[in-house]
Amino acid sequence: MEEKLPPLPGSSKPHLEKLTLGITRILESSPGVTEVTITEKAPAERHMISSWEQKNNCMLPEDMKNFYLMTNGFHMTWSVKLDENIIPLGSMAINSISKLTQLNQSSMYSLPNAPTLADLEDDPDEANDDQPEKPHFDSRSVIFELDSCNGNGKVCLVYKHGKPALAQDTEVWFLDRALYWHFLTDTFTAYYRLLITHLGLPQWQYAFTNYGISPQAKQWFNMYKPITYNSNLLTEETDCFVNKLDPSKVFKSKNKAIIPKKKGPMQPAGTQKGPPVSSSSKSSSGSGNTVRR
């Protein structure tokens, strides 16, 4: 059984501060951000990692082993407060070793001769030379789910040369909801940094696709830009439809101190036009006396 400790607000322990690369301080200082929470998890034991490797006939990369020996999975969330309503927004997650399961390659339906994921293979002629060879749903690749992305797709650890799978054959890819593959990084460490620096913003993985993130997600990107923000990753076609919001104005406190208006300087009597000033308006002058020339 996976040991799960109660959630901690922010990063109150030194090892959590190192694990999150100090991102909690950045979030807590951002306008409107509240409830920055990390679910602390106990480290995985070495025999759990060995059992996983033997069961799946795959060797975990060394950086993934070190990660699981420090924490058996990762889950960090944060919310924003809008009009007294708390809205969950950011989510960063990596499955524990027990939930690092292979993508289901069986039939999608219980009917005979039903289609499988292997039937969705792309035409080899459609391969993109700018990216590495895409993973395959058949036995040519072994695919494990790292993060379900809250239903927006799946981040996967991919062994590209089947079983027995070697640690140096791994890459991290994003599988979108249309079951198309998009390359993210070639190591787990690089992906973890990518996850942290994008603050777990909704649909951030789609910034690495050809069609980019949705207009709604782009609004959040404009308010809470990732640390390594690259505007070229966002398509410019819909920029004219996106409101440029200033977080400091959106989350401005309603309880403001009333600042009294300053009285303007009195104009000299000689420069005033029209009838002479009545006695009721004398209070607007500094001493009430006429100006001598």
Rounded Cα distance, 233 and 287, in Å: 65
pTM confidence score: 0.69
pLDDT at residue 31 in the model: 85
Residue 284: CB atoms within 10 Å:
12
Counting as low any pLDDT under 70, the low residues of the chain are 1-15, 104-131, 227-293
pLDDT at residue 223 in the model: 85
Q: What is the pLDDT of residues 47-79, one digit of tens each?
A: 999 999 999 999 999 999 999 999 999 999 999
pLDDT at residue 61 in the model: 94
pLDDT at residue 149 in the model: 93
pLDDT at residue 153 in the model: 93
What's the chain look like in SS3?
Answer: CCCEEEEEECCCCHHHHHHCCCHHHHHHCCCCEEEEEEEEECCCCHHHHHHHHHHHCECCCHHHHHHHHHCCCEEEEEEEEECCEEEEEEEEEECCHHHCCECCCCCCCCCCCCCCHHHHCCCHHHCCCCCCCCCCCCCCCEEEEEECHHHCEEEEEEECCCCCECHHHEEEEEEECCCCEEEEECCHHHHHHHHHHCCCCCCHHHHHCCCCCCHHHHHHHHHCCCCCCCHHHCCCCCHHHCCCCCHHHHCCCCCCCCCCCCCCCCCCHHHCCCCCCCHHHHHHCCCCCCCCC
pLDDT at residue 80 in the model: 92
Q: What is the pLDDT of residues 110-160, one digit of tens each?
A: 455 555 565 556 555 455 556 678 898 888 899 999 999 999 999 999 998
Residue 103: CB atoms within 10 Å:
16
